[in-house]
Structure 1
Amino acid sequence: MTPGPREIPYRLRWDAGGHRPGAHRSRQGDAGLAFRGHRRLVDGGDPRRLDIHASLRDPLGQWWVRTLAERRAVTVVLLADLSASMDDDTPPPRVQALAALADSLAWSAQRLGDAFGCLGADRALHRLGPWPPTRQRGCGPVLAQALQAHRRQGAQAAGIDGLLAAVAELPRQRCLVFLASDFHWPAATLGAVMDALAPHDVVPVVLWQRRDFELPARDGLAWLQDAEGHGAHLVWVRPALRLRHADRLAQARQALTERLRAWQRQPVFQIDGFDPDAFAVHFQA
């Protein structure tokens, strides 16, 4: 029996806008549960929410009522890197983690009443999932299958120029964006994408595999992929190099975290597969 999607317990650090009821706090409406402020009764305040204490403190003797903010829905978007560096069939394939992430995000958004959409990109923009964002149920499994089928077709497109086109298609209103990639990008590319996403709340999801940071088992000449996306280098694998690269994965994590700190973003690392518990730690921090 195939296990169902696991919940990603995301939450916002900002007040949701829009007018559709949902699960996130906002500063709109008057019929909610969260205290937002006071309004004069003569300005249309609800007399059922009369605040006696606030009214008694008013030196002008005016009547004041409480206003209670309503909860609103938001739009959740998955931006998926489909470039050649993500195309790896060696178990566990990165696309498997990406598909599981997409399925869980769609399911989690639907449970909270949020709209969900997905755009993929390599050199071009790919609409493999629901777009524009929708509240339609059941789109998660369809999207997961489309992502895996796209990889099986062997689209070896180098580059991620399509990501900037995907960002341009995002709604104007602030969204919660999950940017899923291996982030083996040049510094200029990372800067361009993160700057373009500045109006939105971005969660960088880093899909890595431990073997990408391990040295070959045997000493000698070998091609090694740079952990920061600067291409492959021919090196002589020897004991001294093994000693320096003993914590290569930890060094790469720290380097990427430092780079993303310039945009005040904290990445969520998914090492060797999809781990929803890492998102719980991220959003509770």
Structure 2
Amino acid sequence: MKEFSYRVARPSLGHFPGHHRSRRGDSGHEFRGHVPLQDAPDARRLDLLASLRDPLGQWLVRVASERKAVPVYAVADLSASMGYAGERRKLDVLADFTEALAWSAWRTGDAFGFVGCDETARGDWLVPLMRSQGAGAMLARRLRALQPTGRNAAGLRDAHRLLRRERSLVFVLSDFHLPLADIEAVLATLAHHEVVPVLLWDRAEFEPPAAPGIGRLASLVDAETGQRRLLWLRGSLRERWKRQLQARREALEALFRRQRLRPLVMLDGFDADAVTAHFHR
């Protein structure tokens, strides 16, 4: 089982013991400050020097934050475009990532949940938060067998309704082939949480079909709607295609920067080491 390491930028607000820094608890290992003895009645942590310096003459004790768990969610795009297969089928990459995330969360002591969306937030693809060693493997098998038919991923806007209100680490897994306004709306609904956009891409998506000589006739299919269109792929059209793809990528990166998010790009397959590096650079 592939495993990766992740961490949250802000202290956890959870109540369960875990791996992440927090601002809760009194008897951990990370010194947080002093409080009056009556607020934390443990004479073993009495600080005599701090008490002597206190202008109010109070007995002060040292309090140290405890490590806490955080809820971890995968919010996944299950629309038809995720059925695209280039070097790897996108849903297979999604399954690999989800299985590794669930396993990593279990190993870290965090609860894991999953929300799958296409045109709506799908109740049949909802996995409530749980601490289960085998949750990821079972979910990955379902994802690999899925034949997606959703015409869009509008349901991502409603995914926040299925998450706990407690601040969580949320991985949004999609190819992000949505209008930029829709992506911005999805991220706005998740602003309360710590969000990691995971871009599931394939090199073949960004390379127009070869068109030797004066070009060739190509039949192209819209992955979401299934609409087919015939195009004469001449050299000028291929160059314009490349420019538009580059402009789209730059616009997407600019959107994430405005939201103060660092996207994680999974190109041609899942790489656990790349996920760990994303959180530790």
Range class of TM-score, shorter chain: 0.7 to 0.9
TM-score (norm 2): 0.87
Distance of aligned partners of 1:88 and 1:122 in 2 relative to their CA distance in 1, 3 Å threshold: same
| Paired AA for residue 259 in structure 2 | W
- The aligned residue for residue 140 of structure 2 is 144
- The aligned residue for residue 20 of structure 1 is 16
Instruction: Quote the Cα distance in structure 1 between the aligned partners of 2:136 and 2:130.
Output: 11
- The aligned residue for residue 256 of structure 2 is 260
Assess if the C-alpha contact under 8 Å between 1:32 and 1:68 holds in 2.
Answer: yes
Deviations along 1:186-226, one digit per CA (max 9) or x if unpaired, are 12211221111111111000000001110212234546799
Aligned ranges 1:80-91 → 2 under 5 Å:
80-91=76-87
- The aligned residue for residue 269 of structure 1 is 265
- The structure with higher relative contact order (CA 8 Å, sep 6+) is 2
| Paired AA for residue 128 in structure 2 | P
Instruction: Quote the Cα distance in structure 2 between the aligned partners of 1:178 and 1:211.
Output: 24
Distance of aligned partners of 1:103 and 1:262 in 2 relative to their CA distance in 1, 3 Å threshold: same
Q: Per the alignment, in what secondary structure is the counterpart of residue 162 of structure 1? A: helix
Instruction: Give the superposition deviation at 1:60.
Output: 4.1
- Determine which of 154, 170, 174 is the counterpart of 2:167: 174
- The aligned residue for residue 52 of structure 2 is 56
| Paired AA for residue 53 in structure 1 | L
The answer as to 2:91 corresponding to 1:98 is no
- Determine which of 159, 176, 179 is the counterpart of 1:186: 179
| Paired AA for residue 33 in structure 1 | H
- Determine which of 31, 35, 39 is the counterpart of 1:39: 35
Instruction: Give the superposition deviation at 1:31.
Output: 1.4
Instruction: Quote the Cα distance in structure 1 between the aligned partners of 2:244 and 2:275.
Output: 23
- The aligned residue for residue 63 of structure 2 is 67
Instruction: Quote the Cα distance in structure 2 between the aligned partners of 1:172 and 1:192.
Output: 18
| Paired AA for residue 67 in structure 1 | V
Deviations along 1:112-135, one digit per CA (max 9) or x if unpaired, are 111101111111333456622101
Assess if the C-alpha contact under 8 Å between 1:222 and 1:236 holds in 2.
Answer: yes
- The aligned residue for residue 160 of structure 1 is 153
- Of all paired residues, the percent bearing the same amino acid is 46
5+ residue gaps, structure 1: none
Distance of aligned partners of 1:20 and 1:221 in 2 relative to their CA distance in 1, 3 Å threshold: same
Deviations along 1:216-240, one digit per CA (max 9) or x if unpaired, are 12234546799xxxx9987654445
Assess if the C-alpha contact under 8 Å between 1:129 and 1:142 holds in 2.
Answer: no
Distance of aligned partners of 1:173 and 1:260 in 2 relative to their CA distance in 1, 3 Å threshold: same
Instruction: Quote the Cα distance in structure 1 between the aligned partners of 2:59 and 2:229.
Output: 74
Task: State how many pairs are aligned.
Answer: 274
TM-score (norm 1): 0.86
Q: Which moved more, 1:55-64 or 1:15-24?
A: 55-64
Instruction: Give the superposition deviation at 1:276.
Output: 1.8
